Structures are given as structure tokens and as C-alpha cells.
Structure 1
Amino acid sequence: MTSFTRRHALGAGGALGLAAALAACGSDTGGGDGGTPELTDEGNDLTVWFMKDSVSEKAMDWLKSAYEEKTGGTLTYEIQVWEGIVSKLQTSLASTSSTPDIIELGNTQAPTFCAVGALLNLDDLEEDLGGDSLTQSLVELGSFDGSLYAAPFYAGSRVFFYRKDWFEELGLEVPTTIEQLTSVATTLHEANPGGNADFSGLWLPGIGAQQCYAWLFTNGGRIATEADGKWAADLSSEESQAAFAQVQEIWSKASRAGSVTDPTTGGELHVPFNAEEAGMIFGFNWQYKSIDDKLKDKVGFFGFPGVEEGGTGHPFAGGSNVAISASSQKQTAAVEALKLIFAKEFQEFFATEGGWVPGNIDHASALGDDDLATLTAQAVENSVGTPAAANWALVEGARTLDDFFVALAGGGDPVSLATTADASITDMLNKS
């Protein structure tokens, strides 16, 4: 599962009808009213939908056994694929006869389902699941109107991979501000230690919107903000424009990857790194396994730096949330299963089996104590998410941010591009 797969799981067709369809046939016991419904209890045998490759067999076996021991009931797993999952959930969650009891949702899918009455209110459970230790960027995406409906399941966030030998050769230090990052990337680019005509100091693809969010969020910009029930896009703000100037400087001085518009190519960061066409890449911890063995002892890592010395970087986090269907007739049993999902034993499987940061970040130590593991956990803890708007699916389906950053990488005027994108995003997020 990749960030590209998640991003395009909400296609334009499914996104356009999702909110209306679910609102029309959603359960009255669901979210959106801020209240906690009376739990139903019609047996202990549950159906659980997890996405392909999200949860290991070992983790599912543990959960199945622990649940049976605790309740006497059986968990039946149905593994789903990302393609088409939104329309499948749209149909299933609206019916008491066909709904799964527990579901996994992509974190950027969660806001729509939270807003339309499809999920059970989890406010009374939040402390039991982890409270303040839950990944806050995913808490925001799993909440609506101040209440939690989809709890953080697991997450991943990007860190920088760099060639330690080239840094040493050129006398470079690990950057601790965005300005230093640009300087280091430019020095690497000009020196071209890889001796390759396609060399980039930092390989930053034009299609890499989710990578570029780190500059946006760290500068204090946001994609959109909400006030009094209305959303307003934020790409034209002073903070956002400062971020866009920084990424454009990298594309003009330190990266030949701005012209990359194919999502598959843009996601395969190990390819230019292994070909010695990149001094740095900005990727997930699990991508380290794709680095050539002959290079692995030459790779170092650092997190996204702050604007000022000693500041904190705020990358985007991709991941999943987990929820209980509001249409489930076995909600009491589903609550017990959800508590087990957030038990230390199950949460640690995300780290040890999947290489992800658990939804309860207190259990992230299971990733290990090396630099990559530590930096990954810190990145998730400091992450910021996309807007927790019911209509965010429309923006993703329209590829508005992808197109914006591709145009920005091509040298487009950031003010003009932001003005156009802001109008489109604001309109979609407020569409009734």
C-alpha cells in the first residue's frame, strides 16, 4: 500500500456521491450529532474489514485469539483492497444486514464518513484507547464537530535519507533549518558527486504534493481552515506563500525532478537514490529496504527541520483510522474488540511486523531505537493532516493539490496558482 494508492482510492465518481448517499441512508445511531448512542448487543461474533497488507497475519491471529478468550465470540476478517473501497463502504455501512462491525479507513477518507452518520461515537472510549497519546493528526481527521468517530490505527511520515559519504566529502552538516536544507541541497546539486547528468541535490518530484506539505505545514500554512462551519482555502496566505517560494527555490537550484508528473515514478524514490542520481530523498522508513545493500552503510537520516534553529518540522502523515459501524447490531462486542486493537500487544505489531508507527504513539518504541525508527516516530508525532472536512474527498478526487504542485514545479506564479486553487478548494469544501 502506498500513499498514491490511498490518495486515489477516493476517485472523483465515488467522492461526488458519497456524502449525499450516506447522509440519505445513514443510521440514526451514527455520528454527526455529537451524542453517544445507546449500544446494541446482539451477539459476540464480529465481522472486521481490514485493508490488504495493513495488518499482519500474526497480529490478526493474536486479536482473534484474545477476543475469543475475552468474549467467547469469533472475529471473521474480510480483507479489502483500496481500489473501489469507498463505494463498497458507502453501500455496506448504510445497511444493518450487510455492514461490517469494525472497519479500517484511509486517514483522508475518514472525515467524510465521520460527518455523515456512518460511524459510532467514540468519545467515551477515547481515554481507554490512548487519550493524548493517540496520533493527533489522525485524531483530527477521525473527528467531527468535536467528537471522535474513527481512532488512529497506524501512521507513517517521511524523513530525509542522505548520502553520509558525500556530506563528509563536501564538508556539509545535517541541516537544522529549512534555509540550511535548501543550501545543502544546492551545494550537493552543484557538486554532483554522483557524476550523473540527471543528478539532484534533493530528488523532489513535481507530483509530490504530500512531500511538499511539509514545507507548507512547517511554515504555518494550511490547505484550508474552518470557522463557523465554513471552510476557506489557505494557499494564498503569507505563510503558505513563504513555503511555496522555498520549494520553488529547490526546484530551480537543487532538483531536476520537478518535471516528474507520473505518480508511480514519483513514489519510487529508491530508483534515483540507487542510481546515484540523488544526494537526498524524502521518504518513508519502509523504503529503506529498497535501498541497494552496497549503499546502506552510506545512508544517514534526519527529520524535516524547522523554520528557525531549534524549531520543529511538521510533515504530513499517511495512515489509517479504525471505526465501528453505526449500523452494527453488535456494538457492545465491537467496543471490546476495539479496546483489544489498542492494547499494547496488538499496537506493537504495527511496528514490529509492518514498520509503521502505532496509533498510540506510546508503543512506537517497538520500531527500535536506531535513528530511522526514532526520527519516524518523531515525524508522526509532529505531523499535520489534510483538512478534516466532510467534502475533502472532492478535493482529492479532483487532484487539485497534485495539479497545483506540478504547476508550481514548472515555474508557475505561486500567487496566481494559489488564487485559482483557493477558489476551487473553498467551493468544493463548502458544497452542500
Structure 2
Amino acid sequence: MKSRLPAASAALLLAGTLAACGASSPSSSGTPEAAELTVWFMKDSFSDEVVQQFRADFEAAHEGTTLDIQIQEWDGIGQKVTSALASNDAPDVIEVGNTQVAQYAASGGVVDLTDKIDDLQGDDWLPGLAEPGNIDGKQYGIPWYAANRVVIYHKDLFAAAGITEPPTTRDAWIADTQKLDAGGNQGIYLPGQNWFVLAGFIWDEGGDLAVQEGEGWRGALDTPEALAGMDFYAQLQALGEGPKDSDEANPPQADVFAKGTVAQLISAPGGAGAIIEANPELDGKLGFFPIPGPTADKPGAVFTGGSDLIIPEASQHQELAYEVVKALAGEKFQNQMAAAMSYVPNRVSLADALVGSEGAAAMAHGATNGRATPSSPSWAAVEANNVIKEYMTQVLTGGDPAEAAEQASATITQILDTDS
């Protein structure tokens, strides 16, 4: 970015759009005793370099303490965290999606950190990132970082196809991707179950995943608008070789892109770090642009979300666990993270950390059309049951779109009604 305004705008925009996602607080008396702590980070949240630097810094500042940072897969994480919270051997700190905090807090296994808000400078948090972690006035989830998806592209393949500027409309995007999908390359790598991307296409058409009716919720994948969004997804997905029955983690899409024959993928900007780690020769060859919308006047709709940090009640070292949370949510790590991963920091005052990043600039522009998943507290159960993923695979493998959407919508309605 060439000015400070876009970065600040990104933070403010995400503050307004990020939403949707029992317990004694750790004591603050005395200095916590040294211990070995187990910390769960999600796959592809951070590069190995960022993780290793944090571990080294924390252990240096807390003599005798060691961190066992374990990387978790998103697929199936809901049940894994729920089981951990109910066990006697839970991790000490867990990264969770912001849409998941309400689900975990309801289990009674998450520490209430409300009395730590001032110590963590909570008055400076992005409101939209902090709100999902606050359940009935209690802060269970500490906001960590925010992001939305962009298109990461291979500059050399674009140039070879004669494409000099990234597309700004859906029609141009399809046309360019068709050009790229030639000569042995994949125009785009888009797995069949990337439902966050589908959500954006549905929102662009004026539809939604579910809608509130009175005090209840109804699945809405069977509306004409949602079906149009699924149709566009199918058109785009067909211009690559992405699997129709798995998501972006299976196989890791960064590894696929790193082979050098994929022109585009859809990811948070930080995904570029995983690509370069897998293939250093691509360093300097990656570009970013916002997901195109139906018209050039605004980018395509995107899901804007982020991650929170929670401390399980079953942690045997809650005071030290809080020190980990404080360090991860603190200014030093937030600035390092923003520079390395192009994520939006958790504080409004740290927005300048995004200045100068091409990926962050694309993300900031995309955030102007950001949306959240349905605000039902039971939405996490829809995600956990893979309802939308299975619907997408059914359509992409030849099923009748209208029939599949009707079945999926009925399932969503049932889940939201049952769990509400």
C-alpha cells in the first residue's frame, strides 16, 4: 500500500463486518511456575518461521518454560476441541475460529477471561473481532487476528497467457481463467468443498446460507439466488483439476500451487507464505487481487473472519497459559504476524502494520464487501456436520442442483431448530 489510509480502513471495515463466532479466570497473584505448555495452532495459520520465532521469544522471557506447539487440521476440529475441553488432559491454549467460541463456551470448559480485558488493552480491540468471543457479557475468546480471502496468482503464468492486469469482474475472471487453463497448466485450483468461497458467490447473487424467520432459522441454499452462486462456483471449479470431494486442506492447496503449474488459488494472503516455503523459487512471483464481483464497481463478497484464543478449564497451568495468550495478543507478536502473514491485527491502533503489503491491500479492498456466516449460535453445528460441503460435492459430481440444495437446506433448518 502507498498510504496509511487503506490499512486503517481495512481494520475499521473488518471491525464492522467480523461477527458470528464455565469458568474461573487465571489468578494474577505471583509469578507462574515454569512448566511445559501445550498450545494448539491451526494448520496454515502461520509459517514455521513465525511459530518458531514466537516459541523462542516466549521461552527466553519465561525461563524454564517450554512450549509444545501442535498444529491441528481444521477438518474435524470441532469435535476434537469439544472432547479436549471435557477431558482432564486438555491443551493449555487453543486457537479457535471466531464462529466457534459460542459453541465451546456453552460446554462450560472454557476459562472466563473477562477480568483480563483491561490488561490486554481490550478497549483497542477491533469490535467485530472481539464480539464473537463475548458470550452473555463474558469474554471467553481473546481476539487474535482477522483475515479474508483473496486470489493469489502466479505472475509468470499470467504474463505467458497475455494477461497484463488482474480481472475485476466475474466475466473477465472466467475468460482469463480459460486462457490460463491451457498449455498444461491449471487455470485455477479450486477444490469442490471450499464453502466459504461459495458463500461469497451466493451473497453476490443476493442469497444467503440461512435466513432468520421470527425466532427460528431456515436453510436457504435452495433459493434461486443461492443456486446461481453454486452455478458460478461450478463454472470456475471446472477450469482446474481440484478434487470435487474434498476441501482446501486435502491435499493442502499451497502444496499443489507450489508445483508451479497452477495459475490461481483462493486463500487468505498468508497462504502465500506456505507456497513459498514449499517452493522458494516462487518468491517474488506471486501476486494478489480481490475476488472479482459481478461488476467492476465493487469486489466480490467475502467471508470475513478470524481466530480467537481460549484457555481450557482443564489446563493445569492457567496462569502460564494466560501469559501465552497475552504474548500472542500483544503488540510485538501482532506486528510480527501482520508483517509476515498479512493478517489484520487485533487492535485498531496497529493498523499501520499492514502498510506496504500487496496481499493486505487486496484483502483490504475485498473487505469492503465482507460478510459473516449466519448469526445463529448453532451455526457451528452446520459446519461440523459438513452439510454445505456434501451439498457441493453432490452438485459437482452430477447431482441435480435444485434437489441437492433442497435437501441441504432442510438439513440446515433441522440442525438450527434442534440446537436453538
1:425 is displaced (CA, Å) by 1.6
Inter-partner Cα distance in structure 1 for 2:274 and 2:250: 14
Structure 2 match to 1:14: none
Which runs of no fewer than 5 residues in structure 1 stay unpaired?
1-26, 31-36
TM-score for both structures, normalised by structure 1? 0.69
Structure 1 match to 2:174: 185
Structure 2 match to 1:119: 110
Closer, same or farther in 2 for the Cα pair 1:371/1:120, shift >3 Å? same
What is the letter of the counterpart of residue 79 of structure 1? I
1:165 is displaced (CA, Å) by 5.3
1:214 and 2:209 equivalent? Answer: no
Q: Is the 1:314–1:382 Cα contact (8 Å) retained in structure 2? A: yes
1:160 and 2:151 equivalent? Answer: yes
Matches within 5 A, 1:271-420: 271=256, 274-276=259-261, 278-283=262-267, 284-289=271-276, 298-316=285-303, 320-325=307-312, 338-352=325-339, 356-360=343-347, 362-363=349-350, 365-366=352-353, 369-376=356-363, 383-387=370-374, 389-420=376-407
Q: Is the 1:141–1:387 Cα contact (8 Å) retained in structure 2? A: no
1:322 is displaced (CA, Å) by 0.7
Structure 2 match to 1:134: 126
1:129 is displaced (CA, Å) by 4.1
Match of 2:183 among 189, 195, 203: 195
Closer, same or farther in 2 for the Cα pair 1:152/1:236, shift >3 Å? farther
Deviations 1:221-257 (A, max 9, x none): 44334566533323234543342232233346xx143
Inter-partner Cα distance in structure 2 for 1:205 and 1:340: 35
Inter-partner Cα distance in structure 2 for 1:195 and 1:225: 44
Closer, same or farther in 2 for the Cα pair 1:79/1:388, shift >3 Å? farther
Closer, same or farther in 2 for the Cα pair 1:118/1:372, shift >3 Å? same
Q: Is the 1:185–1:201 Cα contact (8 Å) retained in structure 2? A: no
Inter-partner Cα distance in structure 1 for 2:349 and 2:398: 43
What is the letter of the counterpart of residue 386 of structure 2? R
1:268 and 2:268 equivalent? Answer: no
What is the letter of the counterpart of residue 388 of structure 2? L
Q: Is the 1:248–1:411 Cα contact (8 Å) retained in structure 2? A: no
Closer, same or farther in 2 for the Cα pair 1:339/1:426, shift >3 Å? same
Closer, same or farther in 2 for the Cα pair 1:239/1:256, shift >3 Å? same
Closer, same or farther in 2 for the Cα pair 1:233/1:245, shift >3 Å? same
RMSD of aligned alpha carbons: 4.3
Closer, same or farther in 2 for the Cα pair 1:370/1:77, shift >3 Å? closer
Q: Is the 1:259–1:409 Cα contact (8 Å) retained in structure 2? A: no
Structure 1 match to 2:4: none
Closer, same or farther in 2 for the Cα pair 1:200/1:327, shift >3 Å? closer
Mean CA deviation greater in 400-409 or 235-244: 235-244
Q: Is the 2:217–2:416 Cα contact (8 Å) retained in structure 1? A: yes
1:148 is displaced (CA, Å) by 4.0
Inter-partner Cα distance in structure 1 for 2:351 and 2:241: 33
Inter-partner Cα distance in structure 1 for 2:103 and 2:170: 36
Structure 2 match to 1:82: 72
Q: Is the 1:341–1:347 Cα contact (8 Å) retained in structure 2? A: yes
Match of 1:175 among 132, 145, 167: 167
What is the letter of the counterpart of residue 182 of structure 1? D
What is the letter of the counterpart of residue 302 of structure 1? F
What is the percentage of aligned positions where both structures have the same residue?
28
Closer, same or farther in 2 for the Cα pair 1:153/1:220, shift >3 Å? farther
Match of 1:59 among 54, 78, 100: 54
Inter-partner Cα distance in structure 2 for 1:200 and 1:321: 35
What is the letter of the counterpart of residue 54 of structure 2? A
1:344 is displaced (CA, Å) by 0.9
Closer, same or farther in 2 for the Cα pair 1:209/1:318, shift >3 Å? same
What is the letter of the counterpart of residue 265 of structure 2? I
Which runs of no fewer than 5 residues in structure 2 stay unpaired?
1-21
Inter-partner Cα distance in structure 2 for 1:39 and 1:268: 39
Q: Secondary structure at the match of 2:302?
A: coil
Matches within 5 A, 1:22-41: 27=22, 30=23
Deviations 1:30-79 (A, max 9, x none): 4xxxxxx787566542775421575624324444566x6xxxx9866443
Closer, same or farther in 2 for the Cα pair 1:360/1:60, shift >3 Å? farther
Closer, same or farther in 2 for the Cα pair 1:311/1:78, shift >3 Å? same
Q: Is the 2:342–2:357 Cα contact (8 Å) retained in structure 1? A: no
Q: Secondary structure at the match of 1:369?
A: coil
TM-score for both structures, normalised by structure 2? 0.70
Closer, same or farther in 2 for the Cα pair 1:378/1:110, shift >3 Å? farther
Structure 2 match to 1:110: 101
1:145 is displaced (CA, Å) by 4.7
Q: Is the 2:378–2:415 Cα contact (8 Å) retained in structure 1? A: yes
Structure 2 match to 1:233: 219
Structure 1 match to 2:39: 50
1:424 is displaced (CA, Å) by 0.7
Inter-partner Cα distance in structure 2 for 1:193 and 1:87: 38
Structure 1 match to 2:230: 244
Inter-partner Cα distance in structure 2 for 1:172 and 1:121: 52
Closer, same or farther in 2 for the Cα pair 1:202/1:92, shift >3 Å? closer
Q: Secondary structure at the match of 2:235?
A: helix
Q: Is the 1:59–1:349 Cα contact (8 Å) retained in structure 2? A: no
Inter-partner Cα distance in structure 1 for 2:332 and 2:281: 35
